[in-house]
Chains A and B, each alone.
Chain A
Amino acid sequence: NAGVTQTPKFQVLKTGQSMTLQCAQDMNHNSMYWYRQDPGMGLRLIYYSASEGTTDKGEVPNGYNVSRLNKREFSLRLESAAPSQTSVYFCASSGRTGGILMNTEAFFGQGTRLTVV
């Protein structure tokens, strides 16, 4: 199992350019998430998708859009990149398990390091 796969691993953008970060999971998880990680600030939730067909804002959604393409794939789009969006982006997924359908742990991808110049 590959788990959570993110592409690309590295990207440099010029201010104002757009791009889409791709994420796919092969664990049949219902929920998927996008986080950003900045030095000294831990990980902050940008958007999440509780299930296929739904998306919701997290703590820092401004400047981003997301698409839950199907159960496996969840993409993050920057329409007009800004230097403040320079960060490492992590995609994660989680599912349900057990007789009372407890949430599983969140599994993270390897990250996309994005630099906006």
Chain B
Amino acid sequence: GENVEQHPSTLSVQEGDSAVIKCTYSDSASNYFPWYKQELGKGPQLIIDIRSNVGEKKDQRIAVTLNKTAKHFSLHITETQPEDSAVYFCAASRSSGSARQLTFGSGTQLTVLP
């Protein structure tokens, strides 16, 4: 089955700096890579996703890059703000049938210091 590794497990940055979180996956058939943000006491919420036919995707201060050959993808947050502090999870899945079975990384606790 799929295995997703995520690094680092904790990350502290100064407000205004950039943050980068990296993930690798093992299943070359995976073709969908979402990133979720989880705030304390809440469920994960999608912040950005990328499909395997795209190398990079941006949404305001957030961007994701995908390297299919190396089987890794990264989340980039620019101009970080205190409200970006949360746990971030990467995930990977195949588009098999009508279900989306996600395999998650172990999470990164991001702290943005004011």
Contact surface of A with B, Cβ cutoff 8 Å: 4, 30-31, 33, 35, 40-45, 48-51, 56, 58-59, 90, 94, 96, 102-111
| Complex partner residue of B43 from A44, A51, A108, CB under 8 angstroms | A108
In the bound complex, do residue B95 and residue A103 qualify as a contact, i.e. CB atoms below 8 Å apart? yes
Known: A40-B106, A108-B43, A110-B42. A103 touches B32 (CB 8 A): yes
Known: A42-B104, A111-B43. A50 touches B95 (CB 8 A): no
Contacts of A103 in B (CB 8 A): 32, 95, 98-100
**B25 interface hit (Cβ, 8 Å):** no
Known: A45-B101, A58-B101. A108 touches B44 (CB 8 A): yes
- A51 vs B43: C-alpha distance when bound (angstroms): 23
Residue on B nearest A109 in the bound complex, by CB: B43
**B73 interface hit (Cβ, 8 Å):** no
- A41 vs B107: C-alpha distance when bound (angstroms): 8
In the bound complex, do residue B45 and residue A42 qualify as a contact, i.e. CB atoms below 8 Å apart? no
- A107 vs B42: C-alpha distance when bound (angstroms): 12
In the bound complex, do residue A33 and residue B101 qualify as a contact, i.e. CB atoms below 8 Å apart? yes
Residue on B nearest A94 in the bound complex, by CB: B100
| Complex partner residue of A30 from B34, B98, B105, B107, CB under 8 angstroms | B98
